[in-house]
Structure 1
Amino acid sequence: MMTRMTHRLLSPRWLLKHSFALIIFMMLITLGFWQLGRLEERRAANLARLAALELPALTLTTANADGHALAGRKVRVQGTFINAESVVLRARRSDSGVDGVHLLTPLRLRGTEAAVLVDRGWLPSHQQQPAMLAAYAVEREVTIEGIAWPPEVRPNSPLAPRDLPLPGESRIPAWVRVDVAGIQAQTSAPLLPLYIEALPHPDGATLPRPSDPHSLGDGPHLGYALQWFSFATMLVLVYAALMRQELTRT
C-alpha cells in the first residue's frame, strides 16, 4: 500500500513538480550565498577605506587631480570658496538619519584659476534656499581636508533620475549626484575632475555637518541573504506538506 502511494510521487506529473521546486530552491539558495558574497566584498571595501583614512593627507593640485586614482584618499587643499555658485545635493541624510541636503561649493585653489567641488556636509532641508545658504558663506581663505572621489555618473537606465532646471530657468540649484561635468556648465571656474567630501569639524557641532567617514555599515546584504534563505526554508516546508497531503489522499 505504502509503495503504491509513494509511486504517486514518481509519476510524470509529480516529477515535473519536483524539478520545478528544485530549480526554485536552488535559485533561492544561490541568491542567499550571492548576498553573503556581497557582504564580504562590502566589509573588505570598508576595511580598505578605513586604512586609507590613516594615511597622511595628500596636497591636491591641478597636476595630481585624478578622481579615480585618488578615490578614497585623504587630501588637503587651500583656497577660497565661490560662495555664490553653491548648490545642494538632494535627498541626503545626516548620520542620525534625518532627511536633508548637502551643501556643495566650488573652492578656487590658491594660486590658480581652477576650482574643486567640496561637499561641505549636511543641512536641514528647509535651509536649501539660496537666501538661507548665504548664511554659510565663508569669505576667508580656508584649508580643507577631505576624501577625494571621482565624479558621480548617472546610471544608464531610463529610471535613473535626471538633473534638470526648473521651467524658465537655466541654473540647477539642487542636484541628485555630484555631476562635475554638469555643474561645470554653471560654474565660472574650471573644475577639477573630482570632488572632495569634507571631513567633520573638530567640534562636531557646526553646520553644514560633514558625514563621519568612519561610520561604514554592512549595508542590507545580510538581511537580504536571510530573506532568501527564509524563502528557501518556506518552500521546503510547503512542498513537504503538499507531498504529505498527496500521500494521505485516498
Structure 2
Amino acid sequence: MQAWQVHELGEPGEVMRLAHVERPTPGEGQVLLRVRAANINFPDALMCRGQYQVRPPLPFTPGVEICGETEDGRRVIANPALPHGGFAEYAVAGGVGSAAVQLGKAAGATVIGVAGGADKAAAARELGCDVVIDRREQDVVAAVKEATGGRGADVVFDPVGGEAYTQSAKTVAFEGRIVVVGFASGAIPSPALNHALIKNYAILGLHWGLYNTKNPKLVQHCHEQLTELAARGAIKPLVSERVPLSGAADAVQRVADGVTTGRVAVVPAAENGAAA
C-alpha cells in the first residue's frame, strides 16, 4: 500500500515522504481499516515537527483522524493507532465510532467568530456566526466588548494561544471560561493568575485525546449525540477541500501555515478518480 512516512522531524512539506509499505497488522483489540478520508489537523503538523505531546517513533505516518471502512463494510470514524496514521491507504484503530460530524451552534447562544483574513471571515458568516471579527483588520477586544454590551464573552474557545490568549483574557466576562485547546500560533502563553483572580474567570485545558484513556464512554456518548445532530441536519461540517493521497504533504503544510479555511480532507480513492 501507499503511505506517507516521516523519517526525520521538520516541516511537513519537507519531511513527509510517500512510500510503498506493508499494510499494518492489527494488534489485540484493533481492526484494519481502509482509509476513505483523513482529516488534516494542526497536531499532524506539530507531530512532524516533534512539537506535539504525542511523539510516535520514527518512521511514522501522520494522520490522527479518519473515516474508514472495516473489512465487513462498516463505515466508521477512528483515531488511528500511531505510528500507523491516516495518511495512507490502510490504518489500524481500536474503539471506532459510527459517523463523522463537527460541533455546531449552541441553542440560544450568541456566537462570535474571530477570523484571520477576509476569506475566513466570509466563511464564518456563511456558517452562521452572529458576529464575525477579522483580527487582521479590527481591534478584537473592542469589537467583542461592543458586541456584548461591555460584558465580554462567557466562553472563549482558544486553539491559537500567543496574542490570541492575551485577547481572550481581556474579553472574557466575569465568571466566564477560557477553554485552552491548543497553540496554533506556536507561542504557549503564561497566564497571569492574578488577573484570573480579580476577574473571577476559569482557565480550562482541553486535551480531547486523553478522554480515550480516562473516560472512553464519554467519547462514545458525544459521538452518538453529534451523529444524531448531523443526521437531522442540525450541524454540517465545512469541508473546503479534498485532495488525493499524493497531495497530503502539501496540504498538511498549508494547514500548518494557516492558509486554509475549514476542513481539508485527504481522500485516497480520489487518486483513481473514485468517490469516497
- Fold agreement, TM-score > 0.5: no
Q: Which has the larger radius of gyration?
A: 1
Higher helix share: 1
The bucket for the TM-score relative to the shorter chain is under 0.3
